[in-house]
Amino acid sequence: MGRIQCVQSEQEAKAALAAVRREHRDARHTCWCWRIHSGLEKYSDDGEPQGTAGLPMLTLLQRRGVENVLCTVTRYFGGILLGTGGLLRAYTQAAGQALVAAGLAEMQPVRILQLRIPYGALARVREAAASCGAVEKKAEYAQEVFLDLEVPEMRAEKLLQRLTDLLGMNAFLLRQETGQAPIPKEPPGSF
């Protein structure tokens, strides 16, 4: 079973790997690799013959240009010996399937907007937000709706203009800040 997890540091990768190992305590092998944007790369065959698991998985990540991820493949022994070629193919295939299932994202500048909007405008605001590529991060329902949106920086002004057109003046905008967020590059199942 292959798994891809987003990590930002070696410490995060180690913690995520420990969680996978706890989840699959009775597995024979949990082979892994990670690539961190800083250039740090590590891998382990976890007892499999050298070069049959971790390194081929890492090579796959390198070829795809994927960074800030931990890739794990957990294998339970089923009584059939695969040989080195079979192991290499099995681990590479499982890692590849995990990449396809996860999809790819790229860290890009975003603007985080906190909005206060009337209930009657909620559907139109959500439609405008979606058309600008915004992601709804949180919604709180009180006398009015408080909505937190994350929008790619290059589309933020367009969204703010649409919201001004919909709701009038800037009374709807409570707070905005900038940050970085993963923006889907290739959706899950697409490569």
Supply the pLDDT for residue 83: 83
- Separation between Cα atoms, residue 104 and residue 86, nearest integer Å: 27
Supply the pLDDT for residue 188: 59
pLDDT in tens, 34-87: 999 888 999 999 989 999 999 999 999 999 889 999 999 998 876 777 888 888
CB 68 within 8 A of CB 36: yes
**191 falls within a domain:** no
- Separation between Cα atoms, residue 186 and residue 52, nearest integer Å: 28
Length of the chain in residues, anyone? 191
The last residue of a domain, from among 68, 102, 136: 102
CB 3 within 8 A of CB 69: no
- Separation between Cα atoms, residue 100 and residue 94, nearest integer Å: 10
The alpha-helical segments, DSSP class H, found in 33-174 are 54-64, 83-102, 122-131, 153-167
Q: Is the dihedral of CA 116, 119, 121, 122 positive or negative?
A: positive
Q: What is the pTM of this model?
A: 0.65
Enclosing domain of residue 136: 106-186
What confidence category does residue 136 fall into, taking pLDDT thresholds of 50, 70 and 90?
A: very high
**Residue reference for tokens 């290059």:** 154
pLDDT in tens, 7-18: 989 999 999 999
Number of domains composing the chain: 2
The last residue of a domain, from among 85, 102, 119: 102
The last residue of a domain, from among 72, 102, 132: 102
